[in-house]
Amino acid sequence: MRDVQSVPDSCTKMFDMSIQEVNGKGPKKRKKSLERICDNEERGAEAAAESAPEEQSGGAAPGGVRLLHWRDMPQHLQFNPYVLTGYRPLQSWAGCVGSLFYFHNETINILTHGVSLVYILMVLPGLLPWRSGPGAWFLSMCHLLGALAPWCGSFLYHLFMNHTRGEQLYQRLLQLDMLGIWVSQSIGAIPMVTATVYCAPAPLRYLALAVYSLGSLLGLYKAMRAWSPWERRLCFAAPFCMRVLLAGARAARLGGGDPHAILHVFLQNLNDTSTV
């Protein structure tokens, strides 16, 4: 077992942040990779001290913004020890927005979510049956919100995570990201739940909707209080299990809905699972 006293402070923080999930809080991390990083950092400590200006930065971005090394970031932004360079410094609102126009470690995350958000806004509203029957407007709005929310929440989280307000704002952005996923998992699935029980007797129909709503609210409560990635994944277990049961009922012809749409129902559940 490695002696923690023999590694640099930044490595100790790395173990405190990343290895804590090994003790029942989440999936095991790659401990050997972490030790390898710390070994390399320990061997190069003397060389790093001699060339501090070059080692502390990951390069200069256009506009004079100096990108930083992983070890130069605040502790709440040191959650990924496998990305070592390209970090934005703490910035104002305008600085965070300005980071859209140069490449850094969050550029791909920001652009993929932003482009998807714009595409959904431009295309999806024209595909929904807003006036096809009673309740169609409400169900179409639920589907649109469920499609937009996770991309919007993640876009704002990745864009403003390095704001100068520090960890307090970061935690709020993380909650906003989880809120977007919750909207997709709960409100976005209401059309599928409604279609499945549409032909059922009214008491059973309202009971299914009530149970699903309660499970979704429980997931929201847990999502807003979750602190680890593994806890955030488990927040939506209740509504997910109910959607799987409803999808199985449709596949077995026990529920309503177009039989030809069953493949899309399973794909939607698979996609909702991948967003967590």
Residue 196 confidence (pLDDT): 83
- Quick check: 54 pLDDT over 80? no
Average pLDDT, the chain: 78
pTM metric for this prediction = 0.72
Which of the two residues, 78 and 274, has the higher pLDDT score?
78
Residue 58 confidence (pLDDT): 53
Which of the two residues, 225 and 145, has the higher pLDDT score?
145
Check whether residue 31 and residue 133 sit in a common domain.
no
Among 55, 70, 90, the domain-final residue is: 55
Nearest to 82 by CA among 38, 27, 141, 125: 38
Check whether residue 114 and residue 186 sit in a common domain.
yes
Check whether residue 146 and residue 240 sit in a common domain.
yes
Contact 179, 223 (CB under 8 A): yes
Classify residue 80 by its DSSP letter: -
Q: Which helix (H) or strand (E) holds 191?
A: helix 190-196
Q: How far apart are CA 229 and CA 272, in angstroms?
A: 16
Check whether residue 119 and residue 232 sit in a common domain.
yes
Residue 39 confidence (pLDDT): 52
Residue 273 confidence (pLDDT): 54
Rg (CA), the chain: 23
Biggest CA–CA distance in the chain, Å, is 77
Residue 139 buriedness (CB in 10 A; 0-12 / 13-18 / 19+): buried
Contact 14, 29 (CB under 8 A): no
In a domain, 102, yes or no: no
Q: How far apart are CA 246 and CA 271, in angstroms?
A: 16
In a domain, 98, yes or no: no
Question: Of 82-86, 179-183, 231-235, which gets the smallest average pLDDT?
Answer: 231-235
Residue 251 confidence (pLDDT): 74
In a domain, 80, yes or no: no
State yes or no: 264 annotated in a binding site.
Answer: no
In a domain, 237, yes or no: yes
Task: Provide the domain limits for residue 119.
Answer: 107-274
Q: How far is CA 172 from CA 65, 89, 260, in A?
A: 25, 19, 41
Which of the two residues, 233 and 78, has the higher pLDDT score?
78
Q: How far is CA 186 from CA 35, 167, 192, 198, in A?
A: 41, 28, 10, 18
In a domain, 91, yes or no: no
Residue 227 structure tokens: 């602190």
Check whether residue 143 and residue 236 sit in a common domain.
yes
